[in-house]
Amino acid sequence: MHEGDVSSIAKRIVRNSLTVKEDDMVWIDTWHHTIELASEMALECRKLGAVPLITLDTDELYERTLTEIPHEFLRKTPRHQLKALDEVTVSIALAGPENPEMFYNVDTSKMAAIREAYRPIEKKVIDSSIRGAFVTLGLITPERASVYGFSIGNWRQAVNEAIDVDYDRMAELGGRIAKILAQANEVRISSESGTDLRFQMAGRRVHIEDGVIDDRDVASGRPFTTLPTGYVSVAPLENSAEGKVLFDCPQASLGRMIEDLEWTFVEGRLKSYGAKHNVDAFSSLLEPGKGEKDRIARFSIGINPKAQVIGYFDDQTVLGTASVGIGDNLSLGGENDSTFDFAGTILRPTVEVDGKVILDKGRLSLGKFD
């Protein structure tokens, strides 16, 4: 990133997305390759009278932790971090690691053990309504692009364009979709690639990820955002999923690209799964997970008109896509408590809400609901 880009992004996150104010206590968790952005955000906090705290992780430490430290030590909850949350009002996480090749050599059950250790922290962040942002820009690295076969230039440009979006218009569109979903009983997702999934949603709160945390987000119990962003999400009734979903958007995981990941739900649970390529990049995360890891967790519709399909985390924001996830969904107001979560994206879905089409092969069809 150029210096001007870093400064501009830091201001957007601190001032616009998180509306940091004087006396906010801001925790910035960074990796070694995102220190420049973390420093710029800390400076922006200082300019507003807020007080930043920066914590650091590195690829070397993370890899050696996963290879050299036994499970019983990894499961220890960091009580000093838990205590710090008594004073923290804003939390910012910069994504890493820089090089995903490390995942070729690690035992993924140790990653699950770390997630188990940090569950009390995740829950406290939710319960305390700490404003938070997960910034995915740290995932755009030459090393990761090389491993997954992406063009780093095209990837960076696509993400920058997805950030440079009209947030007010995106929020307006999200509000229209959220109003429809909030009144829905049954949703059906289908696609020409083979998806045919039904689930129930009656009574579940709908969340709009529009990049700005406001009083509505705080009141909803989900004062979190991502950057780039742009989707409407809800936690379906966890025991209601029936049918099959095939994710025709490739999914990067553990240094490999999962192609045509397929899930089959029976009586609300994930009954079977498979993929055309690299199914182990999914199964090795699922198997060591604990809790309600095999129930539907989330459903979302992308609303960012500038986002592009890459084959990575931000694909869920692309306008007209649908995403489905399993595992933990407490932050969405669901009931799944798990150390595992995973989501995939369908590129040109048809989505029906109580028999009426809201998405027709990826094109929004909202007129009949107005």
Please tell me whether residues 218 and 134 are part of one structural domain: no
Please tell me whether the peptide bond between 97 and the residue prior to it is cis, using omega within 30 degrees of 0. yes
312 and 227 in a common domain: yes
Nearest to 347 by CA among 325, 322, 364, 370: 322
Does some domain include residue 308?
yes
Task: Note whether 337 and 203 are same-domain residues.
Answer: yes
Residue 5 to residue 17: CA distance in whole angstroms: 16
Which of 88, 120, 139 lies at the terminal end of a domain, its last residue? 139
Q: Are residues 135 and 173 in the same domain?
A: no
In a domain, 330, yes or no: yes
- One-character DSSP codes across 83-136: HHTTT--EEEEE---S-GGGGGGS-HHHHHHHHHHHHHHHHHHHHTT-EEEEEG
Residue type, 223: P
User: Is residue 223 domain-shared with residue 292, that is, in the same domain?
Assistant: yes
Residue span of the structural domain in which 80 resides: 3-139
Those residues with Cβ within 8 angstroms of residue 134's Cβ, 6 or more apart along the chain or in another chain:
93, 95, 224, 225, 226, 227
Return the number of other C-beta atoms located less than 10 Å from residue 116's C-beta.
Answer: 20
- Does residue 162 lie within any of the structural domains? no
**Residue 117 sits in the same domain as residue 175:** no
User: Does the residue 155 lie in any domain?
Assistant: no
**Could you say which of 139, 158, 179 is where a domain stops?**
139
Domain boundary among 121, 139, 157: 139
The pLDDT value recorded for residue 370 is 63
In a shared domain, residues 32 and 127: yes
Tokens of residue 250, six digits: 């490739």
CATH of the domain at 88: 3.40.1830.10
Burial environment of residue 242 by CB neighbours within 10 A (0 to 12, 13 to 18, 19 or more): middle
Q: Please check whether residues 234 and 282 belong to one and the same domain.
A: yes
- Both tokens assigned to 329: 């969904």
Co-location of 107 and 190 in the same domain: no
pTM of the model: 0.92
Assigned domain for 154 exists = no
Q: Is residue 360 part of a domain?
A: yes
* Number of domains making up the chain: 2
Whether residues 134 and 218 fall in one domain:
no
Please indicate, yes or no, if residue 126 is contained in any of the structural domains.
yes
Q: Look at residue 368 in the predicted model and tell me its pLDDT.
A: 65
Distance of CA 266 to the CA centre of its chain: 25
CA angle 46, 49, 52 (to 5 degrees): 45
The tokens for 258 are 């999962």
Q: Tell me, what's the pLDDT at 3?
A: 47
Q: Which of 21, 218, 1 is nearest to 127 (CA)?
A: 218
Residues 177 and 29 in one domain: no
Which among 196, 263, 199 is positioned nearest to 234, based on CA atoms? 199
> Could you read off the pLDDT tens digit of each residue along the chain, which spans 370 residues?
544 588 988 999 999 999 999 999 999 999 999 999 999 999 999 999 999 999 999 999 999 999 999 999 999 999 999 999 999 999 999 989 999 999 998 899 999 999 999 999 999 998 998 999 999 888 899 999 999 999 998 888 888 889 888 989 999 999 999 999 999 999 999 999 999 999 999 889 999 998 888 888 887 778 888 888 999 999 999 999 999 999 999 999 999 999 999 999 998 899 999 999 999 999 999 999 999 999 999 999 999 999 998 877 789 999 999 999 999 999 999 999 999 999 999 999 999 999 999 999 999 998 766 6
113 with 213, same domain: the answer is: no
Asked if the structure places residue 161 within a domain, the reply is no
Taking the mean position of all CA atoms in its chain, how far away is CA 32? 21
Contact by Cβ (8 Å): 169, 329: no
- Please give the structure tokens belonging to residue 200: 């129930």
Determine the Cα–Cα distance for residues 348 and 363; give it in Å rounded to an integer: 8
